[in-house]
Amino acid sequence: MKDIKQLIKEGQHSKALSAILRQARMTSDYSTYMSLCRLRRKISSDSTASPKSANLKIAILGGSTTDFLELPLHLELETLGLGCDLFTSGYNSFVPEMLDTNSDTVRFGPDLTVFLINPFNIADWPNSGDSLQAVQSIADRVSDHWLGLCESLHASTNCEIILSNLHTLPTRSTGNLGCRLDWETNNFILRINDLLNHKAPAFVHLLDIAALASLYGVINWFDSRFWYHSRQPVSFNCLVPFVRNLSAIIGALYGRTTKCLALDLDNTLWGGVVGDDGVEALKIGQGDAESESFRDFQAYLLRLKARGMLLAVCSKNEQENALAPFEQLPEMLLKRSDFVSFKANWNPKSDNLKIIANELNIGLDAIVFVDDNPAERELVRQMLPQVKVVELSDDPAEYPLLLDQSGWLEIARLTDEDWKKTDQYHENVQRMEVQARHTDYDSYLKSLNQQALICEINPQNLERIAQLVNKTNQFNLTTKRLNRSEIETLMGRPDVFTACVRLIDQFGDNGLISVMVGHIREKALHIDLWLMSCRVFKRGVEQLLANYLFDHARKMELDMVYGHYIPTQKNKLVKSLYANMGFNLINTDKQGATHWCIEVQDYQPVHVHISLKENLSNE
C-alpha cells in the first residue's frame, strides 16, 4: 500500500493503477480492499491511468442501501477489464423504478440491472401452523412479485438482470424442531429461493447469496447493527466476496471467461518434487493427510474439466520426470489425457504460458495460472499482467477453495459444446498431426473431409450463439456484443439475414463455430456481425460463409453488400478480410474503423474444401 501511495505522489499514475488492480485481486480483506478503492478514486481524474474498455451501463436497485457497492464494484470490474457507468436509485424504491416505463432507471437505459433483495423485503409471511399448501401459495406470491418486476423492467429496457436470492436469518424460534415445519421462517426463505432459482427466466441471472451466506456463516454475513443504522444488507467483512461474486457474473456475461487452467506440478498437483524425491515418494492418494488433500484438489480440477474447463500443465521439470507420475501412479486421478497442453521444461513460465495460449488459440486473459511457488506467481504477474494468477496458500487443503473463490471460474451459461471441450482440442491436435504429414495445406484440407451445415439463428441454437457472440474476440469484425434477448429479436425477420455454421470433419464435430448477422435495407445487405471461433481458423469457413451470403444476396436480388471492420486490441487477424474478398474500401473513420462495399455481381466465389448442407437443424 505504501508503494502505491508513493507512486501516486510521484505522479506515476498508470503504474499505480496496475499495482492497485494487482493488489485488489490478491486480497479478500475488506479494509485493504477499501483503501485500494479510495486510492483508485484518487487517480480517477487522470485519464491516462484508466484503460477504459467497454463502458457498461449498470443500474443497481434494492431493498437495502446500495451506495456501498459503488467504489468496490468499479474496482472489481476494472480488474476484469470492464468499465462501467453506475446508476443507483434510492433505498427501497425498486417497485416504481421497475414498473414505471418512464422511471429514472428505465431512462438511464441500463445494459444490466443488479436487483438486490433480502429477507426483510418479504412483505408476506406464513402464520404459525400454516399448512404446506398455504405456505407454498405465499411463497409463490412473494417470488412472483419479484420476478414480475424483473419481467417488467426487462420489457421496457431489454436489460439483463442479476437478482440476488436470500440468506436465512440467524434466529430459529422453533429451534431444531424447525426442520420439520414448513411455515418456519428459514424454511419459508429457502422455499422462496427454490422458486427464484427455478422460475427465473433466461435474462435473469442469480447471485447466490444463500450459498455465500452459508459459506461465511449467516452471523458473519449479516451485521444487524449496520442494517438498523443505514440498511446495509451485507456486513463489511463479507463485502469482498459479495462484490467478487457479483462482478464474476457480470464478467462472464460480457465474455471475461476463463477457458484454461495452467497448472504447476510439484507441490501443486502432488506433494513433493518429482525430480528430487522420485515418483514413489510423492504425496498423492489415500492414507496420508497431505496426500489426500492433493487427491481432492485433483478431483476438484476434474469437476471443472467436466464442465468445459481446459487443463494445461506449466511446470519446470524434465518432461520425462513430469510424465512419470501420470504413467506410474494409479493414485493420480488426473491422467495425461486430461490435459490439452503439457509444458514441462526449464523455460520461463511466462514463455510457456504464451505458447499454451497460442496452441489453444485463446487469449492470455482466458488463462488462470495455478502455482504454489510465490516467486513464479510474481514473475507471471509482472511479465504477463493479462494472465490471472491465483494467490495460493502453502496448504494444499485450501487449494480448491482458493481457486473457487477467485471469481475467475464463473460461467454465464452452459451449452452442449462445453461438455466436449477437451475432446475437441484433442481432435485438433490430431488434425495438426495430419497437417504435418501433408506437404501442402490444400491436400490437408481435402483430407479432413469437412462438412458444414448452415442454418438461421433459432431457439435451439440461441444459447450457443449468445455464448459465441459474447466471447469471441479474434475473428470478430465488429465485436458487437448482444445479449440473449437482443439475439432473440433477430429471429424470423424478413429484413434480417442470419447464418450460423456448424463444421464436422473426420475427427469429430466442431459444433457451431461461426455466426453472421446482417440487415437488409433497400437493395443492400449490411453485415453487422461476423465472427468465428478460433478453433477453426484457416479451414475455409469464412470463404464458405461469404459464398453462402452472396448466393443469398443474388436470390434476394440485392445489388450491394456492405461490411465494417471495427478494430480492437484483439481482432487484427481480420483487418484485411474484406480487402482479401474483393470488397472496396469506402473510408476509414477517426477511430480507425474501415467501411467496405462490393457489388453483388462482382463477388468471385472462392473454392473451399467443405461440402455444404444447407438449412439442416442443429441437433
Partner 1 sequence: MNEEIIWNRLTEIFRDVFEDEDIVIGPETVAQDILEWDSLSNIQLLVAIEKAFDGVKFNTGEVANLKNVGQMVDIIIHRSKE
Binding-site ranges for partner 1 (CB under 8 A): 30-31, 34-35, 38, 41-42, 65, 67-68, 224-226, 228-230, 232, 236-237
Instruction: Determine contact, residues 461/512, Cβ cutoff 8 Å.
Output: yes
SS3 561: strand
> Measured from the CB atom, is 49 or 332 closer to partner 1?
49
- Quick one: DSSP state of residue 409? S
Contacts of 495 (CB under 8 A, 6+ apart): 519, 520, 521
CB of 42 to partner 1, least distance (A): 7
Pairing status of strand 310-316 against strand 339-345: parallel
Q: Which is nearer to partner 1, 69 or 462 (CB)?
A: 69
User: CB of residue 478 vs partner 1: minimum separation in angstroms?
Assistant: 40
Q: Which is nearer to partner 1, 35 or 156 (CB)?
A: 35
Distance CA 547, CA 197 (A): 44
591: helix, strand or coil: coil
CB 487 within 8 A of CB 537: no
Q: Which is nearer to partner 1, 67 or 391 (CB)?
A: 67
CA dist 90 and 148 (Å) reads 20
> Given phi > 0 = left and psi -120 to 50 = alpha, else beta, which region is 52?
beta
Residue 66 or residue 291: which is nearer to partner 1 going by CB? Answer: 66
Nearest approach, Cβ of residue 236 and partner 1 (Å): 5
Shortest reach from residue 461's CB to partner 1, in Å: 46
The CB-of-67 to partner 1 minimum distance in angstroms stands at 6
| C-beta of 114 vs 384, nearer to partner 1 | 114
- Cα angle 28, 357, 274 (rounded to 5 degrees) comes to 75
Q: Which is nearer to partner 1, 35 or 435 (CB)?
A: 35
Q: How far is the CB of 39 from partner 1 (least distance, A)?
A: 8
CB of 235 to partner 1, least distance (A): 8
Separation of alpha carbons 166 and 164, rounded Å: 7
Query: Measured from the CB atom, is 67 or 280 closer to partner 1?
Result: 67
Question: C-beta of 123: minimal distance to partner 1 in Å?
Answer: 24
Tell me whether residue 65 or residue 461 sits nearer to partner 1 (CB atom): 65
Q: How far is the CB of 77 from partner 1 (least distance, A)?
A: 19
What is the rounded distance in angstroms from the CA atom of residue 190 to the CA atom of residue 266?
Answer: 43
Shortest separation between residue 223's beta carbon and partner 1, angstroms: 9
Cell output for 441: 495445406
In sequence order, the 6+-apart residues with CB closer than 8 A to the CB of 320 are none
Distance of CA 194 to the CA centre of its chain: 24
- What does 271-310 look like in DSSP terms, one character per residue? BS-HHHH-GGG-B-SSSSHHHHHHHHHHHHHHHHHHTT-E
Q: How far is the CB of 218 from partner 1 (least distance, A)?
A: 18
Q: Name the amino acid, one letter, at 226.
A: F
Which cell numbers in the block locate residue 150? 424483473
Which residues lie below 8 Å from residue 121, measured CB to CB, with a gap of 6+? 63, 64, 92
Q: Which cell numbers in the block locate residue 204?
A: 435473469
Question: Which CB atom, from 68 or from 146, has the smaller least distance to partner 1?
Answer: 68
Which CB atom, from 68 or from 603, has the smaller least distance to partner 1?
68
Question: Grid coordinates in use for 69?
Answer: 457497492
